[in-house]
Chain A
């Protein structure tokens, strides 16, 4: 797991419930309080799963609600922190096509080749005109977060999309398969 995700999760908890809750979440997850998640570092997936479960538990959020909140926060942070990524793309189609590259850019901070390869293999996309098939493989099971992020990004660009998860590890599949279809692209 790239450090950006837990980094942002802790920021979200802090902004929503204060630094005490951040400490409580870390404690419940069994993570040292002094842990600082570097944006471009890689952490064990299992640590993230503990962190995310503790956060949902302490904030009293079900999976769907937690994903929605996190996606909203994630996109706002990304817009502020990485505005160029968004400016490079004319619409949400181009942005979501670029997304695996961005994801892998975070992984490039990892000097261990094997760990980098695992990160790089998490997203694979097949792009067609006005349609994108995203294959997601991760023990973190954040496919729901991806769907909500994709919707937030489409909203940001003023595009209209249909999102459907065709396969999911939560249903017993060995991968998640998400289909994004654009009904309308505001630009291009």
Chain B
């Protein structure tokens, strides 16, 4: 008679089967997931156990396979990432390094693995690096360091700027740090070029106005010189008559004829007129000359030769200079009022870029005023420029009585290439460069207050000293 009841194993069989299953599990522990547990048994419970072991092995095999695929995918993402990505343990030993990171520093990835991360830093940074790691280790692993600019060291010894963001995670090997880096060398060069281009654009824009500014005094200096030349020709006749008279006096034989001749010459001339007019013509010419000289001086100061390191300079002088060179840009639409703090201390700054900031603000102010003035009107607005000092900074305010900045674009005015000006009047780089110069290059701040229809005030704050 057929029975569906399977025969039971004896204990020796059971031990053998359990040992066989244990062998399969040991194999899996050693990473061999491809084996299938095949246990020769009629015992249904043992069959079930075998099946479960196989199920676990299969699940583990799939999980490992999935993990390997994910790891391969992640590795591929890391390897193809444009950003340099490396990980280091809490001892600062590099654990992984993608190709971009290695290339950034001039190495092959395997050349940096298992080596201290300080090899990628200049000595001065390496000295403080350990302290920074200790600070991070004292904080929860969720704390990350947002991207900031730091100096890195290339294999060749060349120092170069990078953007560095650090995150951390707790792993079984302890705290692990992930650094995401971007080489800023090219970006910096582009920024410089952009700033230079904008400066050249400004110079070009100012050139016509400056020519006009120089032309006016040159014109009246010329007129005065012609006037003096004409007067001098008459004076030469008088002087010749005087000479002859003096000669006669020296000989002791002054004759009445000679005296009459001199008197006729004198009366025939406009000597009184020249005597009255010459001083003012000379004075005007000197003033004109001084005006030209001051414009040339301002232009020279404005085009301050680029310096890489900050120098002590007067913000008030920068304001005066810029107002002078830009006169033709604002004089038809605005009066400029200066309220410069006479006690303003000199600041450590890059004078050339700073002049550019003031120029951009003044030109923007003039354009804002121009927008609200009726066409062909003699009416003018006001640009008010003031300086003041605080305990460790100076402040520059440039206010205009122009159109104001509409609220909907206020968060974009510092964006590069953002402009509301008509084509040919602005490229949208002025305020972006101003921000770059003030914030990035000087560690200062730039902000504005604006009321539509009333005007705008830009406030620039600059530290007295630059951080090393």
Contact = CB atoms under 8 A, between A and B. Distances in A.
A38 B4 contact: no
B42 A38 contact: yes
Contacts of B54: 40, 105, 108-109
A82 to B, nearest CB: 8
Contacts of A52: none
A53 B6 CA distance: 23
B248 to A, nearest CB: 128
A158 interface: no
B2 A22 contact: yes
A20 B54 CA distance: 35
Given A20-B1, A23-B2, A38 B48 contact: no
B55 A22 contact: no
A interface, size bucket: 20 to 34
Contacts of A104: 58
A101 B62 CA distance: 12
A78 B201 CA distance: 84
A108 B1 contact: no
A14 interface: yes
B1 A36 contact: no
A131 to B, nearest CB: 25
Interface residues of B, number: 21
A50 interface: no
Contacts of A81: 48
Contact of A40 (B4, B7, B47): B47
Interface in B56-90: 57-58
A158 B423 CA distance: 72
Nearest to A6: B4
B208 interface: no
A105 B2 contact: no
A105 B4 contact: no
A187 to B, nearest CB: 24
Interface in A53-100: 81-82
B3 A22 contact: yes
A118 interface: no
| Shortest Cβ-Cβ A-B pairs, 6 listed | A108-B54, A105-B55, A23-B2, A40-B51, A39-B47, A10-B4
Interface of A: 3, 7, 10-11, 13-14, 19-20, 22-23, 26, 33-34, 36, 38-41, 81-82, 101, 104-106, 108-111
8 contacts: A10-B2, A19-B2, A22-B4, A38-B47, A39-B44, A41-B47, A106-B51, A109-B54
